[in-house]
Amino acid sequence: MSPEWQAVWLTLKLAGITTLLLLIIGTPIAWWLARTQHWLRQPIAAIVALPLVLPPTVLGFYLLILMGPDGAIGQLTESLGLGLLPFTFEGLVVASVIYSLPFTVQPLQNAFLSLNENLLEAAATLRASAWDRFVSIAIPLARPGFLTAAVLSFAHTIGEFGVILMIGGSIPGETKVLSVAIFDHVEALEYTQAHWLSAGMLAFSFVVLVSLYTLNGRFQPGVVR
Amino acid sequence: MSHSERIQARFQCHFDKFGLDVDLNLPGSGITAIFGHSGCGKTTLLRCIAGLQTAKGHLSVLDELWQTASHSWPVHQRPLAYVFQETSLFPHLSVRKNLLYGYRRVPAEQRKITPEQVYDWLGLTPLLDRMPARLSGGERQRVAIGRALLTSPRLLLMDEPLSALDQQSKQDILPYLERLRDTLAIPVLYVSHSTAEVARLADHIVMMERGQVVAQGPLQETLARTDHPFRLEEDAGVILNGEIAEVDDRWTLCKVVFDGGELWLRHHDHLSSGMSVRVQVLARDVSISLHEHKDQSIQNLLPATVDHIAREVVPGISLVRLLAGGTPFLARLTSRSVHRLQLTLGGQVWMQIKSVALAD
């Protein structure tokens, strides 16, 4: 595989795994944030939103320290026999999940907030347990939210750069994703290669956003067309 | 009727500006209307019974305990069904899937009502493959009622199921509700603020005011009371059950015989001799004279005995209860008339009934 295609494949793999993990982790967080009155709701919401406002280098710096040999996560992974996470693909996955968390949680939270409480109550009177109501009513009605969350998380992971540079460096086949490859080409004054990759990213991002807006317009539940 | 065949509910809960404090003992069959003005706590009471609203209290339904001081069954484990005021159909499911949502979640051996029966009763067959967004308001409520029945509930809770509908849709749905009452042996608690619906459907009534029960009992007996603090004001009146004895085609009238006399009312096409009917006589349509005046336009003149006088129920107005045979009537008179006629308990008078309405 050419180094360019290797970078593309690595980027897609990272974004795919990250999106899947984010949907699994983000759904319960979003459901809790949308429905709780607990005093911890605002602090947790703020923590989830932190990656939106922090410079990626700050996030990357702290993650590097935490996952390093003296950090809490580093000591945990070492004691589990997993080794250290910085400068590995797994390290990138962990960092990406944290970095893109708000892009999953916020659309899901909004989708859950706009659910009609009356429908969940009706389902309860029709013998559906809490889990059953979540699966049979909440998830299908929040489908546009899930679609938005998945697409935004995927696209945002593909576009990340600062965190990856801090945590992963530029190891071909392991951590050298597209954005890093472009940076390396520019550093080496290889503008032709940089152009190809950049134009590809631009086209991809545009297509993703257009499909998202089109699909979300079509999937409004209850709307007759 | 033993305790195990009744519904006993005791609830207390408090909100910022409102508290509910009720103690009810209701029959385990027929339709019980929970009646009162908006904001009196009717819906809150229904939500407490369903378990949708947490409240301190005790609830037993027929032979089952649903809530005690120490334990409360979660909503989905109570064998009840709830028809909500606003539409509660699942927008992402077809009418058929909505109808079967609860049915599929009830263990097969507990299912007593089949989908085919419900489609037939409520005329749902042509709607099955539509989405809820393509139904009219009346159709939606019929689907919601069908969906509730398909869980084979032991108790059916209905929260003003007709209030969001226009007059025509209401008239279309009422016969279905009557058929339910007459065909199924499921006790129904029916929240309403409409005297017309109550008069037509209910067997039993609970009157509520400011979170408290002010009267409860069989419909006819309770409506004929003058002593409870609840004022129906313009809508005060009695309901009586009778049978059509005669149809007079020439004058488009029919004669209803009841325990204590007979009344003429306007003939309707669906009525025939021998039918049982429910008629409503409003207190404001009843006037009293001391002698029988035949030379007047009013058709319905009945001899009666003064049974009770509630003076000044509102300033200037008194409510008089009269007995014709064993049947009570109410008359809403000015206090001056009561004084001028010198009405006394046990006195013999003639009731002049200006209008008799068919309740069903």
> Tell me, what CATH number does A81's domain have?
1.10.3720.10
**CB nearest B151 (choices: A126, A140, A141):** A126
Say whether pLDDT at A217 is over 90. Answer: no
Residue A221 sits at the chain B interface (C-beta within 8 Å)? yes
Residue B135 sits at the chain A interface (C-beta within 8 Å)? no
Question: What is the torsional sign of CA B331, B334, B339, B341?
Answer: negative
- CA–CA distance, A34 with B81 (Å, rounded to integer): 27
Share above pLDDT 70 across residues of chain B, in percent, rounded to a whole number: 96
> CA-based Rg of chain A, rounded to a whole angstrom?
20
Segment B134-180, tens digit of pLDDT: 999 889 999 999 999 999 999 999 999 888 888 888 888 888 888 88
The pLDDT of residue B156 is 94
Segment B88-101, tens digit of pLDDT: 999 999 999 999 99
Neighbours of B216 (CB within 10 A): 20
Contact B314, B333 (CB under 8 A): no
Q: Name the closest residue on chain A to residue B107, using Cα atoms.
A: A127
Q: Which of A127, A141, A218 is the best substitution to test chain B (most B C-beta atoms within 10 A)? A: A127
| A43 CB-contact burial (10 Å; exposed 0-12 / middle 13-18 / buried 19+) | exposed
Smallest CA-to-CA distance from A100 within A43, A52, A42 is with A52
- CA–CA distance, B147 with B97 (Å, rounded to integer): 9
Share above pLDDT 70 across residues of chain A, in percent, rounded to a whole number: 96
Neighbours of B203 (CB within 10 A): 16
- How far off is chain B from A24, nearest CA to CA, in Å? 23
- How far off is chain A from B42, nearest CA to CA, in Å? 17
Q: Which CATH class is domain B3-223?
A: alpha beta
| CATH architecture of residue range(s) B237-358 | Beta Barrel (2.40)
- Quick one: which H or E segment has residue B20? strand B19-27
Most confident of A83-92, B26-35, B309-318: B26-35
| Coil, helix or strand at residue A109 | helix
Contact A114, A75 (CB under 8 A): no
- CA–CA distance, B46 with A77 (Å, rounded to integer): 54
A225: in domain: no
Q: What is the mean pLDDT of residues B320-329?
A: 90
| Cα separation values, B257 from A130, A136, B288, Å | 55, 55, 21
DSSP label at residue B238: E
Query: Residue A123 and residue B101: Cβ atoms within 8 Å?
Result: yes
Q: Name the closest residue on chain B to residue A128, using Cα atoms.
A: B76
| Coil, helix or strand at residue B23 | strand
A223: in domain: no
User: Which residue has 């990626």 as its token pair?
Assistant: A56
* A224 neighbourhood in chain B, CB within 8 Å: 131, 133-134
* B88 neighbourhood in chain A, CB within 8 Å: 118-119, 121-122
The pLDDT of residue A122 is 96
| Coil, helix or strand at residue B134 | helix
Segment A33-74, tens digit of pLDDT: 999 989 999 999 999 999 999 998 899 999 999 998 888 888
* Residue B305, strand partner residues: B323, B348
Say whether pLDDT at A208 is over 50. Answer: yes
CB pairs under 8 A between A and B: 69
A224: in domain: no
- CA–CA distance, A14 with A22 (Å, rounded to integer): 12
Segment B258-287, tens digit of pLDDT: 988 899 998 888 888 888 888 889 888 999
Q: Name the closest residue on chain B to residue A116, using Cα atoms.
A: B88
Query: Angle at CA B284, nearest 5°, toward B278 and B285?
Result: 60
* Residues making up chain B, counted from first to last: 360
Burial B27-49 (b: 16+ CB within 10 A, else e): ebbbbbbbbbeeebbbbbbbbbb
The pLDDT of residue B267 is 85
Segment B248-259, tens digit of pLDDT: 889 889 999 998
Segment B36-93, tens digit of pLDDT: 888 889 999 999 999 999 889 999 999 899 999 899 999 999 999 999 988 799 999 9
Residue B132 sits at the chain A interface (C-beta within 8 Å)? yes
Q: What is the mean pLDDT of residues B212-238?
A: 78
Encoded tokens for B124: 């749902």
Dihedral angle, C-alpha B128, B133, B137, B140, nearest 10 °: 40
CA atoms within 13 A on the CB side of B288: 32
* B75 neighbourhood in chain A, CB within 8 Å: 121, 124-125
* A136 neighbourhood in chain B, CB within 8 Å: 101
Query: Residue A126 and residue B81: Cβ atoms within 8 Å?
Result: yes
Q: What is the mean pLDDT of residues A120-142?
A: 95
Q: Which of A120, A126, A223, A225 is the best substitution to test chain B (most B C-beta atoms within 10 A)? A: A126
Question: Residue A16: pLDDT band by 50, 70, 90 thresholds?
Answer: very high
Smallest CA-to-CA distance from B65 within B106, B131, B153, B4 is with B4
Query: Residue A125 and residue B50: Cβ atoms within 8 Å?
Result: yes
* Residue B261, strand partner residues: B258
- CA–CA distance, B146 with B153 (Å, rounded to integer): 11
A19: in domain: yes
The two beta strands, B348-353 and B286-289, are antiparallel
- Quick one: which H or E segment has residue B211? none
The total number of structural domains in chain A stands at: 1
Query: Domain span at residue A53?
Result: 3-218
Question: Residue A219: pLDDT band by 50, 70, 90 thresholds?
Answer: low
* A115 neighbourhood in chain B, CB within 8 Å: none
Burial B162-174 (b: 16+ CB within 10 A, else e): bbbbeeebbebbb
User: Which residue has 């009418």 as its token pair?
Assistant: B95
Domain extents in chain B: 3-223, 237-358
The average confidence (pLDDT) of chain B is 89
The pLDDT of residue A69 is 87
Concatenating the DSSP letter of every residue in B310-340 gives EEEEETTEEEEEEEETTEEEEEEEEHHHHHH
- CA–CA distance, B7 with B79 (Å, rounded to integer): 13
Segment B94-131, tens digit of pLDDT: 999 999 999 999 999 999 899 999 998 888 999 999 99
| A70 CB-contact burial (10 Å; exposed 0-12 / middle 13-18 / buried 19+) | exposed
The pLDDT of residue B132 is 95
Residue A131 contacts by C-beta under 8 Å, 6 or more apart in sequence? none
Encoded tokens for A168: 């992963």
Say whether pLDDT at B230 is over 60. Answer: no
Encoded tokens for B290: 């001391």
Query: Residue B76 and residue A127: Cβ atoms within 8 Å?
Result: yes
User: Which residue has 């028809």 as its token pair?
Assistant: B83
Q: What pTM does this model have?
A: 0.81
- CA–CA distance, A16 with A8 (Å, rounded to integer): 12
Smallest CA-to-CA distance from A145 within A119, A187, A106, A177 is with A106
Smallest CA-to-CA distance from B96 within B170, B137, B150, B138 is with B150
User: Which residue has 């035949």 as its token pair?
Assistant: B294
